[in-house]
Chain A
Amino acid sequence: MYEDLRRTGILCSLPLLILLAVVFVAPLLVILGFSFMPSKSFSLLHLPTATNFVTLVGAGYYKSLLWSLGLSLAAVVVLLVICYPLAFAMAKVFGPFTNVITVLVVLTLFVPDNIRLFGWVLVLMKGGLISGGLRALFGIEMDSLLYTVPSIVFGLVYVYFPFMLFPLVLGISMVPDELRDAASDLGASRFTIMREIDVPLAMPGILVGGMLTFVLSAGAMAESKLLGGQKVIVMADEIETAFTYGQNWPLGSALSVILIGLIGVAAVFVLKRIDLDQILGKT
């Protein structure tokens, strides 16, 4: 019975919804509350004030925000360029090899991020794999490759690689082969096909991958710490500092609210444009 099915559906959704309400929504509300509390206070029982947000702009926190957004955008662009050919091959060319790649990539996801980034530290640092290897083999002296802006972007690109790759693979696999064959048959060149068919039809995948990596990068902290050596202070860093060393929960909350707000806008923008049933149902 249709009506029974609907009821069952709602019942099934409840455990997860309740869980998220308690563990996800409630804490965020607390943060929201705290963001309006007077500076350096530790309870919610004060009168609301907007001082934290004023401090935000005045004390130059916006710089961190811009750095976070800028680095994320850079990472997204780089990832799009790097991942697209591979995703295309995985969706259309490789066949069973695709599964091998998938498993290997997923494998790296399970290794804790800090171990992976630490590995890059070992590779890029002075005396590390690259620098030490060059010296031993060719006698070339090279300085550390770490602690620069590009190294941070590199870290972001590395860590969030799978989050661009898999949505792209999914998106590209949604482009029917027949369309491409037909276009080719009608005389279209490789580039025309890519422009007129591949990209528009794979757009849901591109949007999801881009948005996911952007959002995750914007909130990232470890890359700038381990690979950037605090050369650049990103938003997530500021938030952590405010909460721990700064002992200023309201300020930290305000910063979080801003970051979450931006992320939320990007996420909603993309989610509104895609139909999850269509994407996931095709797998």
Chain B
Amino acid sequence: MTNSINDYTPLEQHLLNDFQRDMSLSATPYADMAEQLGVSEEEVLQSIKSLQDRGAISRVGPVFRPNRIGVSTLAAMAIAEKDLECIARIVSAFPEVNHNYQRDHEYNLWFVVTASSEEHLDIVLHEIEQHAEYPLMSLPMLEDYFIDLGFKLKTSAEK
């Protein structure tokens, strides 16, 4: 498994680092990246596809502001170790769940639930509780203090 930014080619490192925000809204965004990096559009397309296949890039496109076009919440459950795998699978099966992590705490399952309306969100939370047979603690975001500028990946030279 690739496990450090330094395992990627210089072109890949640029693609990972340089276009995390303010990507051009021209008709040909990948050609624009290629021009900026001095390579061909085909190389950019191939590299992005390959980075996606390897899981380094989740997607190219929008990150929506929370609670603006839909509603979401962070949910936590305290699950007995023997049930965790099974409950995690049940939770992940909901299309409304987009992040689902085990964390080392009494509350050991943490997931984000997103829906198009408050009403739909409540239904989903209720469904999850019913299927999991564990109580769910819902912690909706009240304020966002983070200005999202993307994530600066440091190469070994900078570390």
A and B interact physically:
no
Interface residues of B (CB under 8 A from A): none
